[in-house]
Structure 1
Amino acid sequence: MPFIVPSVKQSLILAAMALALVGCSPLAPLNFVISDKHYTLLADQAYGDNQRQKLDVYFPKENIQSAPVVVFYYGGSWRGGERGNYAFVGEALAAHGMIAVVVDYRVYPEVTYPAFLQDSASAVAWVEKERQQWQDQPQPLFVMGHSAGAYNAAMLALDDRWLAEQNLSRDILSGWIGLSGPYDFIPIVNPQVKPVFHHPDTPEDSQPLFHASASSPPALLLAATPDKLVDPKRNTLQLAEKLRDDGVSVETDTFESLNHYTILLAMARPFQGWEPIIQQVQAFTFDQAGTTVPSD
């Protein structure tokens, strides 16, 4: 699909959102231009005692009983972020037939690795318990993230330790989705990330690539070719190759027209004509669920 040049209004929103994605703004301007007609919101649900251990659930208005559940983690170099800025992700997923769970988690300097993974797993444990009330027959469960959030999702899907701490198995996951995720970044060069992962003593097993194996769940890995922050070849494509070598089902796509930030913005309603990101997420989750993608 060709890149569509945004209007002036869209360009302004895009610039503001890019700032929000790197933690420079407490607001997500896109929230003012999306509609709530496609979802019902269950907000401010606590999965722990810390103020940042909360999440929001976006239910589709129709076909809840057959909706896959997607737990989403945002990026921000494990240093910031706010789930309210990502209502556009919840709206996009719900509008395409999925139950979306947008998660806050503790970040640096309050915590360092691996506390944000423990939070991510705790959020999944909350979802696993509560979703029994959402559907008569719980549907497939996925974890998804962008950038640092894709790392969180990858580690839950590939490394047994984090869900095991919640007395859960990775087998509860039908798959995972990563957008521009860092999956192999030792030695760490980003000064913002070094203290988060105890540089220079970053443990080798903190890397998702280290945990890729034949028992890993199916994956959808998307990246932007011009990404200047997270190298798509070293991260997305290398991990995909390792998983495929181990016999794991992996779908990948790269986009020349996007960058590290716009790959997520392309999920938002004003920008969904850029590239079919949300459609690929929808197709992947419903395919893994073995159900038909709902018509728009």
Structure 2
Amino acid sequence: MMRVLLRCALIPFLLLLLAVGSEYTVARPSRRTADVPYVPATDTAYSAERHRLDVYAPRRKAAALRPVVVFIHGGNWDSGNKNIYAFIGRRLARQGVVALVINYRLAPQVRVPQMADDCARAVVWATEHAPEYGGDARRIFVMGHSAGGGLAALLATDTRLFQRRGLRQNPVRGAILDDPAGLDMYDYLQKMQYPGDAQYLVPFGRHPAVWRDASALYHVSAASPPFLIFVGGETYPSISSSSQRFRERLIAAGHPPQFAVLPGKRHVPMVLQLYWKRNVIYQELLKLVHSPAS
């Protein structure tokens, strides 16, 4: 079931149509800086294609620095590209946010721990360079859909990802999860309930200790930041159940998240709806990133 959900062949095509539409049919009071490397070319792990991000910033200058949202795409941990999601970057910039839409390395070249490290390096880059684009390095949030939602949750809960990169504290001030996948792959891969589930042994490997370590649910603590979690009312059971368990873990840690089930929404429409500026996810995101506590 999760295989069907995450490998839907229509996702890239539909998203590309929306991205093209956003580029040519919508006024663009934003500026895009494309293909910025967030890993030095001298790094032994450097990928000229995957270690890149696009910055979307409001054209209108502000007296104060703006909040920063790092968007992480989904795609089954083995596909996806930042270029498909230009519409999200532009929508966020139109609403006064500096958005970073990132690429990261994919399976089978790397596994999820390396993907999480890539995403963490993009956030570290934001702490160093966001002010150059009008962004506030002290107000960095992560956002992701599907597999990207699982990675965003991992960044927000596992501070070790940043300590390994020289930061003493986790710079993520909050996370927005849009129909997230992979929140508890330890449970999922032990059960192997659905045909084709063995494919996830490619991005996650065969060791249960790695499955657990790469699952955000097991890193929730009293230090975790605020979460917004949106789940489709018609999404797949694996996402619905793991999101509920993640919610319960946050509540137990003293951080009840804002949790919403969007009636009638399937997995793909959960990201396609971000084409519309007045979407409920944007409405709640803006409240979070502009909150005085953030």
Q: Scaled by the length of structure 1, what TM-score is found?
A: 0.83
Give the 3 Å change call, closer, same or farther, for CA 245–100 of structure 1 in structure 2: same
Residues 61 and 132 of structure 1: CA distance in aligned 2, closer, same or farther (over 3 Å)? closer
1:50 to 2:57 alignment: no
Q: Is the 8 A contact 2:184 2:215 kept in 1?
A: yes
SS in 1 for 2:198: coil
Range that drifts further, 250-259 or 164-173: 164-173
Alpha-carbon offset, residue 102 of structure 1: 0.3
- Work out whether residues 67 and 139 of structure 2, in 8 Å CA contact, stay in contact via their aligned partners in 1: yes
Shift in CA distance, 276/63, structure 1 to aligned 2, threshold 3 Å:
farther
144 and 288 in structure 1: CA distance in 2 versus 1, 3 angstrom threshold:
farther
1:276 aligns with 2:273: no
- State the match for 1:160 in structure 2: 159
What SS does the aligned partner of 1:247 have?
coil
Q: Deviations over 1:129-169 (max 9, x none)?
A: 11132348645110111111011111111012211111124
Q: Which consecutive unaligned segments of at least 5 residues does structure 1 have?
A: 1-17, 291-296
Counterpart contact for 2:98–2:135, Cα < 8 Å: no
The CA deviation string for residues 231-268 of structure 1, in whole angstroms up to 9 with x for no partner, is 31x22222112112211151111111211111111110
1:39 alignment partner in structure 2: 30
- Work out the CA distance in 1 between the residues paired with 2:137 and 2:76: 33
Q: How does 1:102-251 map to 2 (within 5 A)?
A: 102-135=101-134, 138-182=137-181, 183-185=183-185, 186-188=187-189, 189=192, 190-199=197-206, 201=208, 203=210, 204-228=212-236, 230-232=238-240, 234-251=241-258
Q: 1:191 to 1:93 in 2, by over 3 A?
A: farther
1:60 is the counterpart of 2:58: yes
How do 1:10-21 and structure 2 match up within 5 A?
19=9, 21=11
Deviations 1:202-226 (A, max 9, x none): 5222211111111111111111021
Matches within 5 A, 1:74-89: 74-89=73-88
Which amino acid in 2 is paired with 1:69?
Answer: V
User: Which amino acid counterpart does residue 267 of structure 2 have in structure 1?
Assistant: H
Confirm or deny: 8 A CA contact 1:223 1:255 kept in the other structure: yes
Bigger mean CA offset, 53-62 vs 177-186: 177-186
Separation of aligned partners in 2, 1:79 and 1:228: 19
* SS of equivalent to 1:266: helix
Partner residue of 1:260?
A: 267
Structure 1 residues 28, 169: CA separation in 2 closer, same or farther (over 3 Å shift)? Answer: farther
Aligned-residue RMSD, C-alpha: 2.3
CA displacement, residues 3-56 of structure 1 (integer Å, 9 cap, x when unaligned): xxxxxxxxxxxxxxx7453x5x49711122113513100111001231210000
Q: Is the 8 A contact 1:226 1:258 kept in 2?
A: yes
Greater mean alpha carbon deviation, residues 180-189 or residues 85-94: 180-189
Q: Which moved more, 1:121-130 or 1:28-37?
A: 28-37
| Other structure's SS at 1:129 match | helix
- Please give the alpha-carbon distance, in whole angstroms, between the structure 1 residues aligned to 2:293 and 2:9: 35
Q: Which amino acid aligns with 2:33?
A: L
Residue number in structure 2 paired with 1:4: none
- In structure 2, C-alpha distance between the alignment counterparts of 1:191 and 1:288, rounded to whole Å: 45
Contact 1:154 1:178 in 2 (8 A): yes
Identity between Structure 1 and Structure 2 (%): 28
Aligned residue identity for 2:83:
G
Letter in 2 for 1:227: T
Contiguous gaps of at least 5 residues in structure 2: 1-7, 40-45
Q: Which one has a larger percent helix, Structure 1 or Structure 2?
A: 2
Q: Distance in 2 between matches of 1:88 and 1:124?
A: 20
User: Which piece of structure 1 moves more, 93-102 or 161-170?
Assistant: 161-170
Structure 1 pair 27/255, CA: closer, same or farther in 2 (3 Å)? closer
Aligned with 1:261: secondary structure?
Answer: helix
Preserved contact between residue 127 and residue 138 of structure 2 (Cα < 8 Å):
no
Aligned length in residues: 267
Secondary structure of 2:56's match? strand
Q: TM-score, normalised by structure 2?
A: 0.83
Tell whether 2:273 aligns with 1:285.
Answer: no
